[in-house]
Amino acid sequence: MYSSKILFAIITLVLGITTSSPAWAKKDLPAVNDEGLELVKDYGLATVYADPSADLSIYKRVWLQDVTVTFKKNWQREQNRSYPFKVQTRDMERIQKDIAKLFREVFTKELLDGGYELAEAAGDDVLNVKPAIVDLDVIAPDIQRSTNSYSYSESAGEMTLELELYDSVTGDKIAMATDRKRDYRKGYLERRTRVNNRGDARRMMSPWAKALRTALDEANPG
């Protein structure tokens, strides 16, 4: 049986993560994964596995690890087939750094606004959060080589979050969640710049940060 606090927290996490996410096909998932974590509930969008004996209420501080960012398979090749500005390795590295920096900004602000202290080392009351963004697909990256040329698209693209929660002292995995966010198609072409690509990326990340904060809030009422 799940403790009431961890169950409510993880369900809140799932519901928070799935807000505004697109429906996408998933394979049948095992009730228990290879690490012994149990599938909480399949809402058709996010996937969450958790340790049924864990309790988030003991954690008052968060050790947020740097997010790793990887592109969708063959993203550079597909871009260079149709995009007028050839994407180079340095462009991809710049985008990865920008996404990682933005991710930390969004999560740090949300956690601090919620009254949570950020830790930089393990501790009895420290939750270790390890995030990764995978399958990043920026439809029209702003890598212009000429000030007279611009790129346009209906959508900024999509990204998938893989989030793992650990006890910082024991290293035991408490929960893991996966969710994909896709920027909705506006129905018209919009000029893409670093500014609005960043704004759309922030909008996709914000529900994830709010979900983590809400899960901690529900586990630590009052």
Asked if the model's pLDDT at residue 16 lies above 90, the reply is no
Residue ranges covered by each domain of the chain: 4-219
Q: Report pLDDT for 173.
A: 94
Residues 170 and 218: their CA atoms lie apart, in Å, by 23
Residues 62 and 48: their CA atoms lie apart, in Å, by 19
Q: Report pLDDT for 4.
A: 47
Residues 4 and 56: their CA atoms lie apart, in Å, by 10
Which pLDDT tens digit goes with each residue over 203-218? 989 989 998 898 888 8
Tokens of 127: 């939750």
Question: What top-level class would CATH report for the domain 4-219?
Answer: alpha beta
Burial zone of 162 (CB within 10 Å; 0-12 exposed, 13-18 middle, 19+ buried): middle
Asked if the model's pLDDT at residue 23 lies above 80, the reply is no
24: pLDDT confidence band, cut at 50, 70 and 90?
very low
Which pLDDT tens digit goes with each residue over 57-114? 899 999 999 999 999 999 999 988 876 668 899 999 999 999 999 999 999 999 999 9
Residues 107 and 60: their CA atoms lie apart, in Å, by 15
Asked if the model's pLDDT at residue 222 lies above 90, the reply is no
